[in-house]
Chains A and B, each alone.
Chain A
Amino acid sequence: MKKRLVVIGNGMAGARMVEEILKRDCGAYEIVMFGAEPYGNYNRILLSNVLNQTQAPDAIFLNTLDWYVENNITLHTGVKVTHIDRNEKKVYGLKLAEGDVPYTTGISDASGADFISVSYDEVIIATGARPFVPRIRGSDFPGVFLFRTIDDCDLIADYAKNCRKASVIGGGLLGLEAARGLMTHDLEVSVIEAADQLMPSQLDTEAAKILERAMGAMGLRVLTKTLISQIVQKNGKVARMVFRDGGVLETDLVVISAGIVPITEVAQKSGLKVNRGILCDDRMRTSDPDIYAVGECVEHRGVTYGLVDPIWQQVNVLADILTGVNPDAVYLGSKTGTKLKVMGVDLTSMGEKETEETDDEILVYRDPNRGVYKKLIVRDDKIHGAILLGDTELSDPLMRLFMNEKPLPENRGEILFGAVDGTRLFDAADLPDTAQICNCNGICKGDILTAIEEKKCSSVAAIGTETKAGQGCGSCRGSIAQIISSVVGEVGYDAGEHYYVPGVPLEKSQLVREIRSQGLKSVSGVLEKLGEGKEDPTTKTGLASLLKTLWPKVYEDERDARFINDRVHANIQKDGTFSVVPRIVAGVTTPEELLRIAEAAVKYKAKMVKFTGGQRIDLLGIKKEDLPDIWKDIGLPSGHAYTKAFRTVKSCVGTDFCRFGLGDAISLAKQVELRFQGVEAPHKVKMAVTGCPRNCAEAYVKDVGVVAIEGGRWEIYIGGAAGSTIRKGDLLCTVESHEEVLKYTGRFLEYYRQHAKYLERTYGFVERMGIDLLKGILIEDSLGICAGLEEKMQEAVDAYKDPWQEAEDPVYPFQFEGPQLIEVLQEAENNG
């Protein structure tokens, strides 16, 4: 009979452990697993993405429940192991009651429940860690959360709906990740850290200051050197925090993220040796020779680990030993380094942060303007510690030099900035097959080579589908590309990724060429000639947008290819009514217009009248059948607040009234808005013109922002954003006149229209192209296309027609009708 292996813990370590055993010998054991959470195994590193809603909970699963069935693994979900009877050789667990926290120290109702017991030959403990909760009065009040599981994310997101202010206790990596997640829920977020800096385990003081400034610029409030004396509740909910120095912070929600502690109760109750973590030798064996442990619950040579990389190393060693692949394998501890993105800021940290050894070389590079800081501590010609903040392009080679203790190049500058002659400091092609390339998913170079050679994968995406490499944080994708090019010469790409729309197998430039040469002017025409018979709805809307761009005047407008908003020129709301936003050019209106808007709002029973962020007025809750009449009554053109097009130009009062104004923002904003209004684009485009660098119109964070500066000149910024992504625009050029603003803005917008992917905002497009390249093309006319761009834009401008004119003349039957009433007259048949 097969030996039975019981794995306690179904988190990243436990599940990886089983995967590695199966990979080496799928018949070695009968495997039984216990998991306290009711799910399969998910990637806990990505939890902050679930909290900030960039990934659905389903998307972070590594092993779904089906995987356990397919691999003949008995998985007890929602069961918490209480102890191991080492004499009987049995593991005992209890089913958790609904609402019990998986990482709880106690179980709420053990009385009525029956123990589940499983006998074993060998046991692996992989119970992981739980959040560390500092002793603070009030930390158990409603509204105080921990951040460790998918369910925690759900609870926090749900509670956040009724909150305005949130605080995170803990300014370490996890705390900042939690803060990032909370900020996407429209909360004012503060981070409270007891130490005198952020991320004390990864950064030195100077780097922490730079990071703190960057976080501040994104709207996160950081309080360091702040100790909390208590959390105060009001009406049964968290209301504020009181600090030891007497300070007070109002807060509706608190997330505690102050580090982790190993979960060791099972080991303790079973009589195993435990210090901070479960004590293990170099073979990952506990004080009982039949019981092993891996992961965050382990203490090995006095060290506990909370990063995946060392844990994967432990798992590999133990899998080698248990399956007999390498019975003599040993784990000797890990050097740790982390590569991460803290709220969009790239950071790499490894080894020591400070040194007091006088013989050490310390190399520091500062570029505070760009938020870049690089520091290296070199001892005996080897990296002893490094911090890269803001610019981590060289973090991969640095990390390898550090991990492998390789001697450094003579010219230390090459380590910080890359080699002067352009040769690579490091090439993944030179690594041994056993070198781990993807640290998130633990994929070695050998696995990637197999995928290239046997599965004929030739693109980074294909390697990812085959092996999972590059599918975690993505920072190893450059290395994967190097390996591919070393084997097959050239890195391929998955064509599908680059199709403009899924239903037509062409990239945007090819598609444009075909549409132009075949003279295709309708969506149905393109699908018939170039499609693959698949009428995907996103294909239709993407094609409609492109066709309207390519053929401004003669495009055949098939409304079935358009989203409802573009069929009826209003924005559909959750209750099926629509919102009406008239054009208010540059945010300037008149009492007469306001009277007409007010009367219309009363007459058509607007459910809410609201000022928009773009300085306009939104009438919400208008019935579809009332749209034509309300447009006529208001007597203003459409503001295009519903479509992927050029929308609005926000402005400040400029020189007319403002004491500080340097340029006439209002008249320029009006010119820009009237020129580009309603022109179709791959995504919405919001603009602003502001009369001085105080930037009251928020021009730095618009798709196109124009800022007046001293000397009667205007700066044009492109690719700014202040939505889910926040980005300051890049300076395209500085010009002297309004006409030049219109000229260069027009060139950029036309270039964006022609070359951006569908639904790609300008911030993504500008970042992808790079501002230097765009300057060359649009200002210096390096490709000689500027005259063509200007001509195309002029055509689009000339083709502008206010869509609200359809009020007089609907373009299809029942365009603005509600449900059509049908009288039931005849009863024709009966199936009874």
Chain B
Amino acid sequence: MNKIIRINLGPVEGIPMGQGHCFRIEGEDIAVFRGRDGSISAIENTCPHLKGPLAEGIIGDGKVVCPLHGHRFDLKTGKGSETPECVRTFEASLENGTIFIAYTPESAENVHC
């Protein structure tokens, strides 16, 4: 049984346009990105390759590029450019200018790509 917690991450202006920002929820770092097209996405912050901080990466074409070694991850599916790497993804939404994500704790077995 996976517990889903809906979390308010504050106003969208907290994240600069086109960039990511890292939130620490229950000890887990989650990267939330604000696309220039208005999209909001949320993925695990830690690159499975060598722990690069994905929130610091450049986004484009629906992907984020890890700042350390350039591995890419799909912001929707979490699938990495270097199989079998993948990161957790979280449903994210924008409601009246406020960002919400549906957070499932790390213990849950929900890493799928």
Tally of B interface residues using CB under 8 Å: 39
* Contacting residues of chain B (1-40) with chain A, CB-CB under 8 angstroms: 1-7, 9, 13-19, 21-26, 29, 36
CA–CA, A559 and B58, complex, Å: 10
Asked whether B18 lies within 8 Å of A572 as measured between CB atoms, the reply is no
Q: Which of A500-550 contact B (CB under 8 A)?
A: 524, 534-537, 539-541
Report the count of interface residues on A (CB-CB < 8 A). 36
B71 to chain A minimum Cβ distance, whole angstroms, is 12
Report B58 CB to chain A, min CB distance, Å: 4
B24 touching A821, Cβ below 8 Å = yes
How many Cβ-Cβ contacts under 8 Å join chain A to chain B? 102
Give min CB distance, A819 to chain B, whole Å: 4
User: Closest 4 A-B residue pairs measured CB to CB?
Assistant: A560-B18, A812-B16, A535-B60, A828-B6
B61 interface residue per 8 A CB criterion:
yes
Q: Is A830 an interface residue (CB 8 A)?
A: yes
Task: Determine whether the beta carbon of B21 is less than 8 Å from that of A560.
Answer: no
What is the 8 Å Cβ interface bit string for chain A, positions 558-591, against chain B (1 contact, 0 not)?
A: 1111111001000010111000000000000000
Residue of B nearest to A815 (CB): B16
B67 within 8 A of A: yes
Known contacts A574-B68, A813-B14, A541 near B58 by CB under 8 Å = yes
Are B18 and A561 touching (Cβ within 8 A)? yes
B58: A residues at CB distance < 8 A: 537, 540-541, 560-563
- Tell me the chain A residues, 790-832 only, with Cβ under 8 Å from chain B: 812-814, 818-822, 824, 826-832
SS of A interface (majority): loop
15 of the cross-chain contacts (CB-CB < 8 Å) are A535-B60, A537-B60, A560-B58, A567-B56, A574-B68, A814-B16, A819-B24, A822-B23, A824-B25, A826-B7, A828-B6, A829-B4, A830-B3, A831-B3, A832-B1
Most-contacted residue by chain A among B14, B51, B67 (CB, 10 A): B67
Residues in chain A near residue B17, CB distance under 8 A: 558, 560
Measuring CB to CB, which residues of chain B are less than 8 angstroms from any residue of chain A? 1-7, 9, 13-19, 21-26, 29, 36, 45, 50-53, 56-61, 63, 65, 67-68, 103
Query: Known contacts A560-B19, A813-B16, A826-B6; is A572 also within 8 Å of B59 by CB?
Result: no
Contact of A564 among B9, B61, B67 (CB under 8 A): B67
Q: Which residues of A contact B2 (CB under 8 A)?
A: 831-832
Pairwise interchain contact A572-B68, C-beta atoms closer than 8 A:
yes
Q: With the chains together, A454 CA to B14 CA distance in Å? A: 57
15 new A-B contacts at CB < 8 Å, known A561-B18, A820-B24: A537-B58, A560-B19, A572-B56, A572-B67, A574-B50, A813-B14, A813-B16, A818-B22, A819-B45, A821-B24, A824-B5, A827-B5, A829-B6, A830-B4, A831-B1
Shortest A532–chain B CB gap in Å is: 11
Contact A563 B67 (CB under 8 A): yes
Per a CB cutoff under 8 Å, which of B7, B52, B56 touches A824? B7
Q: Is the CB of A534 within 8 A of B61?
A: yes
**Cβ contact within 8 Å between A560 and B16:** yes
What's the nearest-Cβ distance from chain B to residue A161, in Å? Answer: 16
Q: Return chain A residues, CB-CB under 8 Å to B1.
A: 830-832
Q: Quick one: given A572-B67, A819-B45, are A560 and B6 in contact (CB under 8 Å)?
A: no
Which chain B residues border A575 with CB–CB below 8 Å?
51
The distance in angstroms between the C-alpha atoms of A829 and B67, with both chains bound, is 35
**Distance in angstroms between the alpha carbons of A829 and B24 in the assembled complex:** 21
| A820 / chain B contacts, CB cutoff of 8 Å | 14, 21-24
B26 CB to closest chain A CB (Å) equals 6
Q: List residues of chain B with CB within 8 A of the CB of A576.
A: 51-53
- The answer, among B22, B36, B61, for a CB contact under 8 Å with A560, is B36
Tell me whether A536 and B23 are in contact in the complex, defined as CB-CB below 8 angstroms, given that A559-B16, A813-B14, A831-B4 are known contacts: no
In the complex formed, the residue of B with least CB distance to A813 is: B14
Q: How far is the CB of A625 from chain B (nearest CB, A)?
A: 12
Residue of B nearest to A828 (CB): B6
Query: Distance in Å from the Cβ of A539 to the closest Cβ of chain B?
Result: 7
Specify which chain B residues have a CB less than 8 angstroms from the CB of A819 in the assembled complex: 22-24, 29, 45
The CA of A814 and the CA of B55, in the complex, are separated in Å by: 12
Q: What is the CB-to-nearest-CB distance from A607 to chain B, in angstroms, rounded to a whole number? A: 16
A322 to B101, CA, bound (A): 67
A822-B4 in contact (CB<8A): no
B50 smallest CB distance to A (angstroms): 7
Residues of the B chain whose Cβ atoms lie less than 8 Å from the Cβ of A812 = 16, 19
Closest to B24 in A: A819
B68 contacts A559, C-beta separation under 8 Å:
no
The docked-state distance in angstroms from the alpha carbon of A540 to that of B22 is 22
In the bound complex, residues from chain A placing their C-beta under 8 Å from that of B103 are 824
- A812–B59 Cα gap in the complex (Å)? 17
User: Across the interface, which residues of A come within 8 angstroms of B63, CB to CB?
Assistant: 537
Partner of B59, one of A560, A574, A832: A560
Residues of B within 8 A of A826 (CB): 5-7
Contacts of A562 in B (CB 8 A): 58
**Chain B residues positioned under 8 Å from A574 (CB to CB):** 50, 68
CA distance A544 to B17 in the complex (A): 15
Q: Which B residues are CB-close (under 8 A) to A524?
A: 18, 36
Q: For the complex formed, measure the closest distance between the CB of B27 and the CB atoms of chain A, giving whole angstroms.
A: 10
* Nearest-neighbor residue (CB-CB) of A814 within chain B: B21
Q: Which residues of A contact B23 (CB under 8 A)?
A: 819-822
The distance in angstroms between the C-alpha atoms of A560 and B67, with both chains bound, is 13
Q: CA of A826 to CA of B101 in the docked complex: distance in angstroms?
A: 12
CB distance from B53 to the nearest CB of A (A): 5
Instruction: Please give me the residue from chain B that is nearest to A573 by CB atom.
Output: B68
Cα–Cα, bound, A828→B67 (Å):
35
Task: Determine the chain B residues whose CB is within 8 A of the CB of A813 once the complex forms.
Answer: 13-16
